[in-house]
Structures are given as C-alpha cells and as structure tokens.
Amino acid sequence: MSIKKISKDQPETFEFNEKSLEIAKKVVSNYPEGKQQSAVMALLYIAQRQNNNWIPLSAMKYIAKFLDMPYIKVYEVATFYTMYNLTPVGEYFFQVCTTTPCMLRGAYKLVDVCKNKISEYESNISKDGKMSWMEVECLGACVNAPMMQINDHYYEDLDEKQLEKIIENIEKNKKIDPGSYKGRKSSEPENNRSTLMESKNA
Ligand code: FES
C-alpha cells in the first residue's frame, strides 16, 4: 500500500515558469470553451515536473486560479491519485510495485533492500538526499515482475543483488540502465521460448 502524506514544509508561493506556462496554455487550449477544468490532472503533472517531482499546496492554489475552479477540487484530485507526490522525493524516486504478481515474485525482498539502503520508512529521503522510495500498486509490467519505476523508467526482472547494485551505482554517480535485468527484450518469454508448447510445464 502506498502512503499519501502532505509535506509539513510548504513553500509560500508557486507559479509556472515560462516553459511550464507555455505547455499549460497549450494543454488548456485542447478543451472546449467552459471545459478548461478538465486540464487539472495535466496541470498538476506539469507543476510536479517543475517542482522537483512534488506538488506543494501553493501549486494547487495556483492551478485552481489558473483554471478558475475551487481549490478543494484541485486538492481532491491531487490527493486521490498516487502519481502525484505531495511531499519532497529524492532525486532518484523508486516506486516499488508490491501488487500480487510482483509480490509473488519477490517484491518485498526489494522493499527490504530499499529499507536497508535508502531509508527505513517510505517517503523519507536518504541521508545523501539522492534517493527515496515508495510502495505503489500495479505499474502494468506484471510480466516482468518484480519491477519498479525509478523516475521515468522501468527496471524489471529484479532481484535483491541487482537492486543493491543499482543503488550503489547511484551513490557513485554512475549510470543506471533501465529494462529487464534478465536480459529479456521487453516482455518476450524467458529462455528463447516462442510457443507454450516448447515447455512441458507451460
Ligand atoms: S503487479 Fe507489479 S507491475 Fe503489475
């Protein structure tokens, strides 16, 4: 289960920078006159990208004014969906899927690695300020379980040792490679099987 927390430390103000403003205006223009509030999810996402991957309350208020809608409605959307972070996250944000297929394939062993190597409690940032982690529901890559999302990319077919190596590489400022850690291409079968008939246990 993922935990939603609103940060106690909140910036007083928020406004879109030039780039975000340009994207936001373009998104809003996609909706018919009078239906601009439908852009609320996209605008929250733009705010999150601009603000180091989390959304302060001041950004929700800003978006409410931007879309001419009640602040509480923006707040309701932001607090409902888990993809919005309402508290600061690390520069590398680990979202560990612990829904059933990933759980059966060892997701909680990955959670233990996160607890030991990043921070004891989810959503707390590591001592070096680089990483934080959170349990999330299914990320739609069950066939490559267990998996996690780190920032914008998926890391799949993981085990504890591989995750420890990923964390070590981040600590050493080395590049980390997304994709399958069993060498699979996307979700192709393991061991070069091309049909279910090629295995007795299929
Ligand atoms: S259960 Fe983990 S990606 Fe679907």
Ordered per-residue pLDDT tens for the chain, 202 residues:
556 789 999 999 999 999 999 999 999 999 999 999 999 999 999 999 999 999 999 999 999 999 999 999 999 999 999 889 999 999 999 999 999 999 999 999 999 999 999 999 988 999 999 999 999 999 999 999 999 999 999 999 999 999 999 999 999 999 999 999 998 888 887 777 777 776 665 4
**Using CA atoms, how far apart are residues 132 and 151, in angstroms rounded to an integer?**
11
CB burial of residue 171 (10 Å; 0-12, 13-18, 19+): middle
Report the separation in Å between the CA atom of 101 and the middle of ligand 1, taken as the mean of its atom positions: 6
**Ligand 1 pocket, residue 145 CB under 6 Å:** yes
The per-residue pLDDT for 200 is: 61
Ligand 1 pocket member 136 (CB < 6 A): no
What span, in angstroms and rounded, lies between the C-alpha atoms of 154 and 142? 11
Ligand 1 pocket, residue 101 CB under 6 Å: yes
Question: Structure pTM?
Answer: 0.87
Q: Which residue has the tokens 């680089």?
A: 130
Q: What atom of ligand 1 comes closest to residue 139's alpha carbon? A: 3
Q: Is 125 in the pocket of ligand 1 (CB under 6 A)?
A: no
CB 129 within 8 A of CB 169: no
Pocket test residue of 138, 149, 186 for ligand 1, highest count of atoms within 8 A of CB? 138
Beta bridge partners of 136: 97
The strands making up 148-150's β-sheet, listed across from edge to edge, are: 131-136, 92-97, 148-150, 153-156, 179-180
pLDDT of residue 189: 79
Q: Among 1, 104, 142, which is best to mutate for testing ligand 1, by the most ligand atoms less than 8 A from CB?
A: 142
Please report the pLDDT score of residue 5 as a whole number. Answer: 81
Instruction: Name the strand (E) or helix (H) holding 57.
Output: helix 57-66
Is the CB of 139 inside a 6 Å radius of any atom of ligand 1? yes
Question: What pLDDT shows up at residue 1?
Answer: 53
Q: Which residue has the tokens 């008939």?
A: 197
Instruction: State how far the Cα of 7 lies from the Cα of 160, in Å rounded to an integer.
Output: 30
Mutate to test the pocket of ligand 1, among 139, 144, 154, 158 (most ligand atoms within 8 A of CB): 139
Does the CB atom of residue 142 touch ligand 1 within 6 A? yes
138 lines ligand 1 (CB under 6 A): yes
- Measured between alpha carbons, how far is 98 from 95 in angstroms, rounded to an integer? 9
pLDDT at position 82, please? 86
User: Tell me, what's the pLDDT at 190?
Assistant: 75
**pLDDT value of position 199:** 64
